[in-house]
Structure 1
Amino acid sequence: MSTVLLAVVAVILCILFRILNVNSQPQKPVIFGRDRSFIENILFISPFLSEPYTPTRLWGFSGHVQTILHSLIGRVRCPWPIGGRISLVLPDRSTLTYDLYEPVGSEHEGIVKDDVTVAICPGIGNTSESVYIRTYVHYSQCHGYRCAVLNHIGALNSVPVTGSRIFSYGHTDDYNYMIENLLDRYPNTKLILVGFSLGGNLITKYLGEDRKRSPNIIGGISICQGYTAIDTMVYLLQWQNFRRFYLYIMTDNYRNIITRHKRMLLNPEMKNRYSLDENMIVSAGTLPDLDEAYSRRVYGFDSVADLYKWSSSAFYLHNIKTPMIFINARDDPIVPEPLLPLIREFVSSHDKSMYLELAHGGHLGFYEGGLVYANPVNWLDRALVGLAGGLLMAHNKCSQKDVMVTVTDTISDDEPDLIKSTTIVYRDPLDKPINVFTHN
C-alpha cells in the first residue's frame, strides 16, 4: 500500500512540476527592431531590460498560473491611488468616464521634469478600479507621471449606461474623447499612450487610423495584445492549452456587462432597431456567437469577420508614425506565440519602434521575485515606467534642432550594464537574414 501511495505522490509531483514548469530558468527579454538609435535611447533609461526576467520561483514560470493569478488577485499589496473621476456626455448620449491622477509623493519628486500624462486604456471590461491598473497608476504617480485611465463604457457598476452601446474591440472614439479632454485641461502636456491587452489593440489602432491627432502624443506602449482578432479567435476556439476555457470566461464577462445594462441595451426600441434576440445573446457560448447576436449588429457590420477586421490593429500598423513599443510573452495562453511574427516583422521594417518578447509572464502577469510570494511591484510596472522615460528621452532628443546627440556619444565605456548585455535582433528590410547582436 505504501508503495502505491508513493507512486501516486510521485506522479502528482511530476504533473505539478510539468504544469508549473519549474525546470525553466530566467531569460533576458529579446528585443526586435531596426532603429538602433531609438532602441538604445530606451535601454539607456531602462537598463534592467538588459537583465533576465526572474519570475516567482515556484509558480511564475507557468503562463497559466501567471494569467489566472492576474485575473483573480491582480497584484500583491495593491495600493489605492488618489484621484478624481471625470464624466463626459458624448454626442450619442453615452456617458464616458475616466479617472485622473496627479503625481504624488516627495520621494521621487523631480524625476520627470516635463509635464507628462500617461493615457491608459485597460483590457476588456476593465477599469481604473482593476487591481493591476491601480498598481501601475500608483507606481507611475510616484515617479512623477500624471495618469488618466479610461473606464470602458458599461464596465463600471457605479456608472449607468445612458446611450445605446457599450465598449467594443475597435471603437477608438471613446479614447479620443478622453485625449481631447485631457488636452483641454493640460494643453502643454506630453502624452504617452499605454494599452493593456484589448487596450493595446485600441491605442495601436488609434495611432494608425486616418484621423486628426494631437502632436502632444509622443509615443505609445502596447502590452499583450493579439494584433488580429480573426486569428486570435481561431486559437481561442481550440481546446489546446486550455484556450477555450479562457474564451468562456471572456464571453461570460462580456455577456454579463450587456445583461447588467439590458434596460438600455436590450429594450424594445433597441431590439427592433438592430434586430436583437435576447435569447441568442444570453445563450451565446463563445465570443463569436455573442458578437453575431449583438456586437456586429449594433456597430452595423454585415458579418462578424467584418467586425473583427475593422477592430484589429494589424490592419492599421502601416500608418503609424508615432514611436511605438510592443510587449508580449511567449507563454501567454490567450495570445499564443504563432500570433507574434506579425509584430516582429513590423518593427523590423519601421523606424522608432521596438518589440520586447519575454519567454515568461503569461497574459499581463509578469510577477517576479520570491519563492512563493511575489514582489509587490512586478516586472511590467517597472518596465512601463522605464519605457515611458525612454520615450520621453527619445522625443526630447529628436526635438533638439541645434545639437543632435546620439546615445553612443552619451555612453561611456565604463557603463557596461546599460546596453552591452542585451540581446537585440536588428533586421534591415532589404536583408533576408536576421542579425542577432548579444552585447557582452
Structure 2
Amino acid sequence: MEFTPIAGISNPHLQTLLPRFIRRKALFEPVWQRLDTDDGDFLDICWTEAPEQAKNKPVVVLFHGLAGCFHSPYANGLMAAFKARGWLGVVMHFRGCSGALNRLPRGYHSGETQDARFFINYLTEHFPDVPKAAVGVSLGGNMLIQYLAKYQQDANLVAGCAISPPLDLGDCATRIQKGFSRVYQAYLLNSMNHTLKERLMRHPKVGSLSSGDKIDISSIYEFDQRVTAPMFGFDSADSYYQQCSGLVVLPQVRQPFKVIHAKDDPFMTDAVIPTQTLPDNIDYQLTEYGGHVGFMSGSLSEPVFWLEKAVPEFLAPHLGRVHHTQTETSTDCNPLPTS
C-alpha cells in the first residue's frame, strides 16, 4: 500500500505533529485490566472490548513508543482500526507509562523483552485457539524485533509490524539532539523525568540516582547513561545501544513481518535503513515522506491516518477473515508527540 502525504503537508515535522492536533480525543473508551507480574510488580493493559466476551476473535497486541500510552493518537487509532476489523486489540503499557506508578523501580527499554514475553504467554494461555499478532511503534517496534529474533518459532505470534522503529539506537539518540528534533526530546524528557522523580520518592535508588538527587537530565543519551544502563546491567548507554539495536537481528525474525520507515523521520537518519538483504518474510517499506509515526494522507479537510489502513491490510491475511464493525468516540488524549 503506497503512501502519499497531504498536499502541502509533506514536511516531516508537520507530518509528525499533525496527528496530535487532529485527534485530540481517543476514538473509544478501552477496557482496563491490571496483571500482576512474577517479580511482584504489575502491567496495566487495555482492551478494545471486554476480553471474556471476545474469546474467538484474533488478538493484536500494540507495544507503544517511548513515554507513550493508549491515549497517544497513534495507539488508540490503531486499536480502533483493529476493532473495526473485528479483532480484539490490546495495548500493553510498559512500566510507568499507564499513569500509575509501579511498585518496583524497574522501567523499560528498547530491548527489554521480559514483560512482552510474560504478556504474550498470558495471551497464549487465555486465548489458545486464535491467531495472535503484534505491532510495535517506535521504541516498541525495536523491542518487538528483539523479541521475535530471540524467540523465533516460540514467539506465539503469527505476524508482526514495526512502525518507525529506531533500529540504530545510538544514531537515533544523537539525531534527536539536533535541530528542531530537540523539541521532541525536551517533550519526552519532561515525561520521563517526571516519572523518574516519582520513582525516587518511593525508592532509595533508581539507576545511578539516589533519593534527594537533583533531576537535571537534559538528553535521551544522558537518561540512558544514568538510568537505563545501570538499571538493566549495561556498562554504559553505548553498550545498551550496541546490544539492543534491532538492525542487526532483524534478519533473524521468522514470522511474516512488516517494517515501515520514512526517509525524512526527524528522530532518525539513514543509519536505521537496512543495507543487508532481508529474508522474504520481511516486507520493508521505506517512504519518502511521513515523519515519525505520522503518515498523514488524504487532505486537510478529510485527513486520512494512513497507518490505520496499511497495518491492518498487512496483518489481515495472517489473522483470517472477520466482519467489520463501527467505532465510537470519547476520552481525552494528549495532542503532543509521544514517540
TM-score of the superposed pair, with normalisation by structure 2: 0.85
- Using the alignment, how far apart are the partners of 1:237 and 1:160 within structure 2? 28
Q: 1:358 to 1:391 in 2, by over 3 A?
A: farther
Alignment correspondent of 1:133: 75
* 2:71 is equivalent to residue 142 of structure 1: no
Q: 1:244 to 1:82 in 2, by over 3 A?
A: closer
Alignment correspondent of 1:373: 301
Q: Deviations over 1:131-186 (max 9, x none)?
A: 221122112211111111111211122x2311121222221111122211112221
Amino acid at match of 1:228: D
Alignment correspondent of 1:414: none
- Using the alignment, how far apart are the partners of 1:255 and 1:204 within structure 2? 27
**Aligned alpha-carbon RMSD (Å):** 2.6
For residues 18-417 of structure 1, the aligned pairs below 5 Å read 49=1, 51=2, 53-58=3-8, 60-70=9-19, 72-73=20-21, 75-76=22-23, 78-102=25-49, 115-157=57-99, 159-210=100-151, 213-215=154-156, 217-239=157-179, 242-264=180-202, 267-268=203-204, 270=205, 275-277=208-210, 282-336=215-269, 338-342=270-274, 344-345=275-276, 348-370=277-299, 372-375=300-303, 377-392=304-319
- Using the alignment, how far apart are the partners of 1:249 and 1:82 within structure 2? 26
Q: Deviations over 1:339-379 (max 9, x none)?
A: 2432x53xx33121111111111111111212x3342x411
Q: Name the larger-Rg structure.
A: 1
- Using the alignment, how far apart are the partners of 1:281 and 1:229 within structure 2? 26
Same amino acid, percent of matched pairs: 22
Which shows bigger deviation, 312-321 or 120-129? 312-321
Amino acid at match of 1:258: L
Q: Assess if the C-alpha contact under 8 Å between 2:58 and 2:87 holds in 1.
A: yes
Q: Which has more helix, going by share of residues? A: 1
SS in structure 1 of the partner of residue 35 of structure 2: strand
Q: 1:281 to 1:190 in 2, by over 3 A?
A: farther
Shift of 1:387: 0.9
Shift of 1:62: 0.8
Q: 1:340 to 1:287 in 2, by over 3 A?
A: closer
Shift of 1:278: 5.6
- Using the alignment, how far apart are the partners of 1:294 and 1:246 within structure 2? 20
Shift of 1:279: 7.0
Size of the aligned set, in residue pairs, is 317
Q: Deviations over 1:233-261 (max 9, x none)?
A: 2322333xx23333333223222221233
Shift of 1:117: 0.9
Q: 1:83 to 1:289 in 2, by over 3 A?
A: closer
Q: 1:97 to 1:324 in 2, by over 3 A?
A: same
SS in structure 2 of the partner of residue 167 of structure 1: coil
Gaps of 5+ in 2: 321-339
Shift of 1:223: 0.4
Amino acid at match of 1:253: S
Which shows bigger deviation, 303-312 or 193-202? 303-312
Gaps of 5+ in 1: 1-48, 105-113, 394-440
Q: Deviations over 1:7-61 (max 9, x none)?
A: xxxxxxxxxxxxxxxxxxxxxxxxxxxxxxxxxxxxxxxxxx1x5x332223x21
SS in structure 2 of the partner of residue 255 of structure 1: helix
Amino acid at match of 1:297: P
Q: Assess if the C-alpha contact under 8 Å between 2:160 and 2:255 holds in 1.
A: yes
Amino acid at match of 2:37: L
